[in-house]
């Protein structure tokens, strides 16, 4: 005689834990899918009176012709609200936010 073993159904607790783990993996992975504006240890800077930006090491000042973004208006990820905004705006030599000319 042969024995046939039955597979046990997973308990509700096991199924719940598996579902929770899958949801957590999706939620935490979603943040890392966005492209950061700058790498770790860098901050973004904006070209003065012109289109363009760059990333500068945290311990350095912006290079000539660049300025820090106004506080609270720094882009964090590609295509975020501020990244999109600064495609049509810049700062002038006095630090005022101005529209970019249409030809830039």
Centre a 10 Å sphere on the Cβ of residue 23 and count the other Cβ atoms it contains. 10
* Residue 86 located in a structural domain: yes
pLDDT in tens, 4-58: 656 566 566 655 556 666 665 555 444 456 799 999 999 999 999 999 999 999 9
> Total domain count for the chain?
1
* Residue 6 located in a structural domain: no
Q: What is residue 88's predicted lDDT score, i.e. its pLDDT?
A: 95
pLDDT in tens, 53-90: 999 999 999 999 999 999 999 999 999 999 999 999 99
* Residue 90 located in a structural domain: yes
* Residue 91 located in a structural domain: yes
* Residue 58 located in a structural domain: yes
Q: Decide if 74 contacts 43 (C-beta within 8 A).
A: yes
Q: What is residue 15's predicted lDDT score, i.e. its pLDDT?
A: 58
Q: Range of 83's domain?
A: 42-99
Taken in order 85, 86, 90, 95, the sign of the CA dihedral is: positive
**The whole model's pTM is what?**
0.65
* Residue 11 located in a structural domain: no
* Residue 9 located in a structural domain: no
């Amino acid at each position: 005689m042969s024995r046939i073993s039955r597979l046990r159904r997973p308990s509700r607790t096991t199924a719940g834990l598996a579902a929770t783990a899958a949801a957590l993996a999706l939620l935490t992975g979603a943040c890392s899918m966005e492209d950061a504006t700058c790498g770790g240890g860098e901050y973004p800077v904006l070209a003065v009176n012109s289109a363009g930006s760059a990333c500068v090491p945290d311990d350095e000042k912006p290079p000539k012709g660049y300025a820090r973004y106004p506080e609270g208006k720094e882009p964090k990820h590609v295509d975020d609200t501020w990244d999109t905004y600064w495609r049509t705006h810049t700062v002038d030599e006095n630090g005022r936010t101005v529209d970019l000319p249409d030809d830039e």
